[in-house]
Structure 1
Amino acid sequence: MNFIIRQLEEADFSDNSGFVETMANMSDVGDLDFNQLKTIWQKAKQQEAYFFVAASQEEDSKNQIIATVKLLIEPKYFYGGKAAGHIEDVVTRKGFEGNGLAKALLKEAIKTAEKNNCYKIILDCSKELTTFYEKIGFKEYSICMRLNFKK
Structure 2
Amino acid sequence: MTEKLFVRIVRKFESKRSNGKMQNCEEQKYGIRKLEISDKGKGFIELLQQLSVCDSVSDKEFEDRFRELSAVGDDHVIGVIEDEASGKIIATGSVFIEKKFMRNCGKVGHIEDVVVDSSARGKHLGKRIINFLTEHARSMGCYKVILDCSVENKAFYEKCGFQQKSVQMALYFADH
CA–CA distance in structure 1, aligned partners of residues 67 and 167 of structure 2? 31
**Amino acid paired to 1:25:** Q
1:5 paired with 2:5, answer: no
Q: Distance in 2 between matches of 1:147 and 1:42?
A: 28
- Mean alpha-carbon deviation: is it higher for 32-41 or for 17-26? 32-41
**Greater relative contact order (Cα < 8 A, sep 6+):** 2
| Alignment size in residue pairs | 146
Identify the residue that residue 69 of structure 2 maps to in structure 1.
44
Which of the residues 45, 66, 82 maps onto 2:106? 82
TM-superposed CA distance for 1:78, in Å, is: 1.7
Q: CA deviation at 1:34?
A: 1.2
Q: Which residue of 2 aligns with 1:119?
A: 143
Letter of the 2:69 counterpart: A
SS in 1 for 2:38: helix
* Unpaired runs of at least 5, structure 2: 1-25
- Which of 11, 25, 30 aligns to 2:50? It is 25
TM-score, length basis structure 1: 0.91
Question: Structure 1 unaligned runs (5+)?
Answer: none
Q: Which amino acid aligns with 1:29?
A: C
| CA-to-aligned-CA distance 1:79-127 (integer Å, 9 cap, x gap) | 2222110000101112111111110011011111111010111100000
Deviates more, 1:104-113 or 1:45-54: 45-54
Larger CA Rg, structure 1 vs 2:
2
**Conserved 8 A contact 1:21-1:93:** no
Q: Encode CA deviations 1:26-68: one digit per residue, 9 max, x unaligned.
A: 11221211111122222233342000001112x3x1x311000
Q: Structure 2 CA distance, aligned partners of 1:6 and 1:32?
A: 22
Distance 1:42 1:129 in 2: 31
1: CA distance, partners of 2:58 / 2:38: 13
Q: Supply the AA of the counterpart residue of 2:35.
A: L
* CA distance in 2: counterparts of 1:113 and 1:130, whole angstroms: 20
Q: Secondary structure at the match of 1:79?
A: helix
> For the residues of structure 1 that align with 2:166 and 2:40, how far apart are their CA atoms?
35
8 Å CA contact 2:45, 2:56 repeated in 1: no
TM superposition score normalised by structure 2: 0.79
- SS of residue paired to 1:70: strand
Matching residue of 2:17: none
Give secondary structure in 2 for the equivalent of 1:11: helix
